[in-house]
Structure 1
Amino acid sequence: MDQVDADFEDLLTYLKETRGFDFTGYKRSSLVRRVDRRISQLPVTGYAEYLDHLQVHPDEFTALFNIILINVTAFFRDPEAWEHLRTDVLVPMIAEKPEGSPIRIWSAGCASGQEACTLAMLLGEILGPEEFRARVKIYATDVDEEQLNEARHASYSARDVENVPPEMLERYFEQSGNRHVFRKDMRRSVIFGRNNLVQDAPISRVDLLTCRNTLMYFNAETQARILARFHFALNDGGALFLGKAEMLLSHSGLFLPTDLKRRIFRKVPSRSLVSVGPVRAGQPVALPPRPLVGLDQLRNAALLAGPAAQIVVTADGLVALGNRQAESLFGVSSRDVGRPFRDLDVSYRPVELRRYIEQVQVERRALHVTDVEFNRSGEIVHLDVQVTPLVDAGAGLLGVSLVFHDVTAARQLRVELEHVNRELEAAYEELQSTNEELETTNEELQSTVEELETTNEELQSTNEELETMNEELQSTNDELQGINDQLQQSSSDLDAANGFLDAILAGLRAGIAVVDRDLQVRVWNRQAEELWGLRAPEAVGQHLLNLDIGLPFDQIRPLIRQSMAGDSDAARARMEAVNRRGRPITVRVECSPLLDVAGTPTGSIVVMEAVATPG
């Protein structure tokens, strides 16, 4: 096994020296599987024999690199993540930048350029084509020259652009035969070039960096180097957009997640060092060191031997004491006694102490500054700083004591947790890498690696969505069927009730008019039509007293009001009227209250019956 491993490492060294492709930083498990797959397709056995084959057949490099690099990409791959990038990253980023200022994007591992063009379309939608051309530069890089040559043509098949929304396809692509070519005026803002993420210098001052499903092919050490380059490349506050297999759990010192589900991270700004500039007019001038007298030798010796680094500053800001630990940690020695504390590096590095000293002097209470990170000759030390006022018996301020406690050991638990996170991330990435290779192998049996991997992902996503939709539609259909049955039954019952009521009203010999509390007519039966010559559609909905019939309404109104008040015995009378033929008749009118379920009057039932007709 050792000889096999040595032969494999010799093969990687040969690829690096002859072709400039450094795969030594790739994960060995996935790299070995891919090389073994290529060897199985040739009449050779073992890595040493395959290296001889490469020396004799230079064309074999292309086939090998295609298998190792995979080069899977697509327009709007993971649409939800791209939409979130547009609304929550690009739009706020552009709004915060000064008007007209340049916008720089880096698409690392761009393959054949689909993601770079996707970025161009999103920015074109936000800015408009004219402002896009004036402000935006998208740097798209990859190590595969063959893929870069394809990307520079920006010509894609109908299958390649299936995920592009129709309106964007019409705006940003031109039809050329059976190919779709990206708009040339916007294509000029997308610059394709070769860049090896492990070896080459990063592109700097970028606002957004996309590198999707590329880091997972590298081991943890190489990932750390690449991420450090990405951190350098991004502006403060810049965003990093990774693939779904990459979580950066162990790199929180460089990037913090803003949306871990969609793999969007923000750069953690580098700590800036406060520089000491020239003395300005009116600024206090540093006094030359002068000896301090009257110190107790015993206390001085105890301070010098103290286990924690300690510095004592006088009330007027001069260094009074510094122990051996302070000299070892910060270089503060007896030569600095009498110097202004603000002139020492420790006053502002690793943390700005001058403002804490001023606060302690004013408030006369101790302060604690926690989680301070200090680089001591390449070794990272974590400190807690205790700033304590020193007062005399009369509460007069003598000075300030600064004690630096080394809490590096207390952070060991966090280091162990980060180690576990790294192992979890490595296992997750390995699983994702294996899964993606299996998907790629299946897709190669049907067509090209790029097209069929995209198809597999789309089918998987679509299948999950369809299953969810089918379950929701089935549930909705069952609910709608039940509601429909209830509505049909209610409609049938209502029709039967209405028919029964109409039959009752039609069979009565007297004219019936039902009014509500506002005297609006709600029911007008057939006998009322015969009596007054006014059809139901003409009467229903009208105010009873506004109807053009021969009733003396000034006599009817009191009857209705009495019935609504519940006085049904008094709500009847005989009165003279004129029927629909214009003949005078005597009508008996009786008004009864229309009661609801609770027995509350909601209207009145007016019964009108002709009792005598002049001869």
Structure 2
Amino acid sequence: MSDQEDASFEALLHYLRDTRGVDFTGYKRTSLARRMRHQMDRSGIATFDEYLDVLQASSDEFAALFDTVLINVTSFFRDPTAWQFIRDEVMPALLARRAPDEPIRIWSAGCASGQEAFTLAMILADDLDVEAFRHRVKIYATDLDEQALTHARAATYDAKAVASVPEPLLTKYFDQVNGRYVFRKDLRRAVIFGRNDLVKDAPISRVDLLVCRNTLMYLNAETQRKVLSRLHFALAPEGVLFLGHAEMLLSHTDKFAPVDLKHRIFQRAPGSQSELNRAVTHEAPSPRQGNLSGLAPLRELAFGASPVAQIVVTGDDTVAMINRQAEQSFGLSARDIGRLLRDLEVSYRPVELRAYVEQAKVERRSARIQEVEWQRAGTDAVWFEIHVNPLVDAQNGLVGVSIVFFDVTANRILLDKVVQTNGQLEAAYEELQSTNEELETTNEELQSTVEELETTNEELQSTNEELETMNEELQSTNDELHTINDTLRERSGELHDARTFLASLVDSMTMGMIVIDREMQVVEWNRGSEELWGLRSEEAVGATIGNLDFGLPVDELKPLIGNAFVDLDAVGEARVTAVNRRGRHFQLRVVCTSFRSPTGTSSGALLLMEDAG
């Protein structure tokens, strides 16, 4: 991109972050720009400046843009061999580390439309009995795309989406409703969906298994390091991280130990970070000296007049109380009382609150979120410290959750000033210390100087030995990386040769060749077909063959094609009258066979065509 295009592109990213709370600035610029241009081409827009104007004028364009950029591609049991390893090796080890009544916490980060989270649910429900699963398992499924999360919460899929689910699991865990497959409602309660930005939102903590597949590869190196640090923090001791097939942990090798590199499964390295255990003590309330009646209105007035913004939700996440300060700070009103917390913007901006609320409900302990910045259009930034407190009765039963927003902006400003002043004092102290050292050096005796030099020499020698040891370790690591790189380069070359050979073979055929899938969409269109019909491969591939404007009478061939779909050994032949690319009518010989998939089933049909004279 030119400097002007680059500036316009960055302005567009900052607009998305500031108005929609979606921060793409950590994504790889080349991939991100390519996807955005793809959506711009669909909308008939040429420049990033014009696209910014369109986004400011039309809110409908955001949904299409996010679908294009975020690429919510997922499926049940995607990469079956990797999931088999999870089922056979990882899950038994995880359950063995837990007592029979201990909770199990799973996080599916970047869950898209939910197939991955429900795959985890099926595996765990099979390993445990259904009753134990309902009581012990919590699966937190998060994503940046609200539209995808809405789809995931519905937990309903068409037949094509569940095709990869083994038949016994499909029968056991899905109900058929109006031609669609709906995940069992009693098990669906264990899967908690919420919005979470891996780049900036707080991670879910003490997770036994963290599944984050094909998400890191879209981020640049610096953002990857930041996200990996958060994922490391999220894992419990001996917790397992499951990445996508295209991702490798080339950094943070001190924090993650490989369990199975082929399937990209890693474990939190022992002792990689000290764990801080915080105990929350609940003191019994002091006995009251007397009962006072009529205090409910007083309490409500005091709550409403509190200078600290506060929201109270019930145990089922319904908003029960909002004070005036919260209304003014976050644009709320009394009409929002009775709505679900997740339906309010404050549930995910300025910070994702739902995971903390769920944690407070499940664990019966408070959570504190520090350094939360909130800035509305046309106002100065405000800093909050947010406390999420479970409200429990005398029998430790959950009544609700209180969310309190303490305005610490003044403290933040004061802290900045203290830091600035401290920096100035440190500079002055360093200058004074330097002068004092110079005076002391002048008065020191020669023998003292010699002793110091000898001590320094010993320290340098020790440092040199340490550096030599580190250099040997780095050299060993470098050799391993070279070996991996050579292997990848060799495999890449073999794959390229195979693809080139196949492409040359297809284009070398003088006969026209068309491959269609079971949806009648064109998968392959060789050079012979281009010469015969006058349509380029780029125009034909991906289109439905019946919708293409060319001289092949497709309707006459549909019986042959249908037979090829159901009979692997079928070889059909027909002679039809067609119109070539020059508009001439001629007799065309067509041979139709089944197109076999690697699994030995019919995935489409193969049409071979030649002029029959």
The two structures have a TM-score, normalised by structure 1, of 0.49
Identify which of structures 1 and 2 has the higher relative contact order when contacts are C-alpha pairs closer than 8 Å and 6+ apart.
1
Report which of the two structures shows the higher radius of gyration computed on alpha carbons.
1
The two structures have a TM-score, normalised by structure 2, of 0.50
